[in-house]
Homo-oligomer: A and B are copies of this chain.
Amino acid sequence: MGLQGQSFIGYRRGSTSGKVLKAFDPTHGTILEPAFYSTSKSEAEEAINLAARSFAAYASLDRHKRAGFLRSIADNLMSLGEQLVERAVSESGLTAMRIRNERERTCSQLRFFADMIEEGSWVDARIDRGDPERKPAPKPDIRSLQRPLGPIAVYCASNFPLAFSVAGGDTASALAAGNPVIVLAHYSHPGTAEYAATAIRDAAMSAGLPDGVFSLLYDAGIDIAHVLVNHPDVKGAGFTGSRAGGTALMKAAAARPEPIPFYAEMSSVNPVFILPGILQSQADTIAKNLHASATLGMGQFCTQPGIVITLDGSESFVLKFTELMLQTAAGVLLNRNISSAYQRAMSERPQRANITLKTATLDEPASSAETCSVRASVLETDAASWLADPVLHEEVFGPSTLLVHASGREDLLRIAREMKGNLTATILGTEEELADYADLAKILEQKVGRVLFNSYPTGVEVCEAMVHGGPFPATSDGRSTSVGGRAILRFTRPVCFQNFPDSALPAELQQANPLKIWRMEDRRYIQG
């Protein structure tokens, strides 16, 4: 399939008159054909209008049909075969194996939500039966369930061209809930976006869905991002990207005449606390595992362990970890903005008080100034210096880890308390140490969406229990997760029916429970 470069305005393709955007191959430092054309404001509005018009029909689509739609997106993605993989590799600098794994994850995520909506209990159906005889006032019959919000805008991530992009988790969960979706492609991987968009469009057409359930927009600038977040018919949004971009859009969402939920996943340093006991026997293993986690995908995971806190007795771990980071081959970051920001941080941070660059990033510049190649790095400081310098609390996106040495338990707890909101926090220790540091675990629980024990934060399992979220600035809304079963609830709200005749109720709430879902009936959980 040849790439055409035009937006998808529902089922039609957009114009070729907009400003041109071309992808960049960060591995070879070359511009990639073809040209992609920025969506005009009026085309974006047309896409939103189509989405709004398709909403009612799509929201009440039979659950099996909606599940089938999600599964056929996954099938279509697989059918795109190696052309999709090759394009994503060229546009991201990620390896083909990584892209194949990400495609697998993207497809299994679509199937995960398909299974969930087909089973159906996710709607949280609640029934409180009426009682006309109750005194002093009759008790009404009250039934409620989660319903979709309306058209949802999805902003693609640079670092997951598939799993957090056009057909990624935001789109999958928003579509699963019954919302039309308008996606804004990331400038880094417009070709991958076009492939994924064809997979969704073809699945929608085959399922006979109304025009407008899905659109894909391109933009060489930032205008369309704001058109989406400000349009009155857009009722929610999902975003994965930088803190600057995310906070600008979340402020816009809050400042609208009618504010809307804006779910941004932004920045996280994912602190790892290593307790001394476990280092006695496992310093090398921990160094190896932590190195693997810190450099996975060249450190471009939102759960990359960016800060490691150690206590006395960590010398051999530090040596081994630093050695492994030093030995790591130079690798390519996603795009020039990201590689420049990384290089800038690696030249600026060692200038700060009491901070040492333990690796040779600066001495070994990338092999070509044209590519986005960088080396892994280790920085080191002490607790007091970290506590005193807010810059060191911020994420460096890429394969860099800051070691913070705490001189004792109080120091370590103070660091935990001063941490901002994060996606994850990890404790490595013996089980006895975990019990001994129960206060540390309690502090971390208040700071993050996921606390790990003797495990590594990269690799986010797609499952019902996953929480991939966390207090600001990790995300814009710490009550949400962008991965796992609860992700669907970001794009729904509860709606209640009072004294409705059975036949006029949604099937999920009808007396006979025709869908056989789990419901809460008169305060008890019952499966029909």
On whether A465 and B128 interact (CB within 8 A), knowing A472-B259, A504-B441, the answer reads yes
- Residue of B at shortest CB range from A57? B442
Q: Are A466 and B496 in contact (CB under 8 A)?
A: yes
> Given contacts A467-B495, A471-B258, is CB(A434)–CB(B518) below 8 Å?
no
**Assembly CA distance A119 to B435 (angstroms):** 28
Partner of A495, one of B137, B139, B449, B494: B449
- Is residue A476 within 8 Å, beta carbon to beta carbon, of the partner chain? yes
A496 to B485, CA, bound (A): 13
Give the residues from 261 to 311 in chain A that come closer than 8 angstroms, CB to CB, to chain B.
261
How many identical subunits does the complex contain?
2
Find chain B residues with CB under 8 A from A492 CB. 479
Asked if residues A445 and B495 are in contact (CB atoms below 8 Å), the reply is: yes
Contact indicator B499/A454 (Cβ below 8 Å): yes
Contact A455–B498 (Cβ < 8 Å):
yes
Residues 485-528 of A at the B interface (beta carbon under 8 Å) = 485-486, 492-501, 503-504, 518, 520, 523, 525, 527
- A156 → chain B, closest Cβ, in Å? 23
Residue A147 at the B interface, CB < 8 A?
yes
A518 to B124, CA, bound (A): 13
Evaluate contact between A500 and B453: CB separation under 8 angstroms. yes
Say yes or no: A461 contacts B258, CB within 8 Å.
no
Distance A476 CA – B253 CA, assembled complex (angstroms): 12
Q: Is the CB of B450 within 8 A of A496?
A: yes
Chain B residue nearest to A253 in the complex (CB)? B254
Report the minimal beta-carbon distance from A186 to chain B, rounded to whole angstroms. 24
9 example contacts (A-B, Cβ-Cβ < 8 A) are as follows: A140-B455, A142-B465, A150-B446, A254-B254, A254-B259, A438-B504, A451-B498, A452-B498, A464-B523
17 new A-B contacts, CB < 8 A, other than A431-B503, A450-B498, A525-B525, are A56-B442, A128-B464, A128-B465, A137-B459, A140-B461, A143-B465, A144-B465, A150-B446, A258-B471, A441-B504, A450-B497, A451-B498, A452-B498, A454-B499, A464-B523, A465-B496, A469-B494
Binding site for B on A (CB under 8 A): 55-56, 60, 115, 119, 121, 124, 126-128, 137, 139-140, 142-144, 147, 149-150, 250-251, 254-255, 258-259, 261, 420-421, 431, 434-435, 438, 441-442, 445-446, 448-455, 459, 461, 463-467, 469, 471-473, 476-481, 485-486, 492-501, 503-504, 518, 520, 523, 525, 527
